[in-house]
Structure 1
């Protein structure tokens, strides 16, 4: 990857400085579907589903999740990014489990608020979700 597609940041779980792929920003010329097109050819891919039954991870075209996985000199890095009505945010983790927990918390927020379709009978917190609903949808292969 060229230097223009990398950024210096801190991992969320270990607070270590890393260089990782940039999540493309919103150019404000289109909508979330157009933003998803900007991911093509990058380290990022759209994460459409979450949990054991493949519930919505967002609410396209307004709320979109993306994920990336890369490696640096110290090991693997796991990232997720969000697009929420044009605003983007990126989070990197050294541990995959920490990344999954962070995605679960954010997906749960959207399920709980009714912004995304999720499981019926949600518990009070994301931490109380069954393990199968705190992981990627098994049919997803990235």
Structure 2
């Protein structure tokens, strides 16, 4: 059982303060698979795939994307976190659509740089990805 730790942060899209679940830090004792185990029992879930075809959202065990949502008095903040070779970062959004756009940009970066397996034909920027590739893979249910 994991104890949920909260942090005070600012949403990226609306710049409002929120209290949200902390993305567990990498303790550097193992690899990315071990870090994914630290998410168990927290608000965070690993996001393995992205877009209509379920392309890699990261490149395990080196690049791992995680998502979370929480509830406060103003609604539901949506978060995504990333662990790249042990370094973690977290981003929170008031809007789920804004969070999806940010995840798309993150995933696109790893696709275009060849770090993750993405579509064969990629546009110049994430902003012009087809709409169906700027959303979670439909088979993902978490």
| Range class of TM-score, shorter chain | over 0.9
**1:81 aligned partner:** 81
**2:41 aligned partner:** 41
Aligned partners of 2:3 and 2:42 also within 8 Å:
no
**1:109 aligned partner:** 109
Deviations 1:89-132 (A, max 9, x none): 00000000000000000100000000000001100000111000
Aligned-residue CA RMSD in angstroms? 1.3
Measure the CA separation in 2 of the matches of 1:134 and 1:82. Answer: 17
**Unmatched 5+ stretches in structure 2:** none
Q: Secondary structure at the match of 1:65?
A: strand
- Compute the TM-score of the two structures, normalised by the length of structure 1: 0.97
Measure the CA separation in 2 of the matches of 1:126 and 1:80. Answer: 17
Following superposition, the deviation at residue 4 of structure 1 comes to: 6.0
Going from structure 1 to structure 2, the CA distance change for 1:138 and 1:110 (only over 3 Å counts) comes to same
Is 2:141 the counterpart of 1:141? yes
**1:59 aligned partner:** 59
Structure with bigger strand share is: 1
Going from structure 1 to structure 2, the CA distance change for 1:3 and 1:18 (only over 3 Å counts) comes to farther
**1:25 aligned partner:** 25
Q: Secondary structure at the match of 2:71?
A: strand
**1:7 aligned partner:** 7
**Unmatched 5+ stretches in structure 1:** none
- Compute the TM-score of the two structures, normalised by the length of structure 2: 0.97
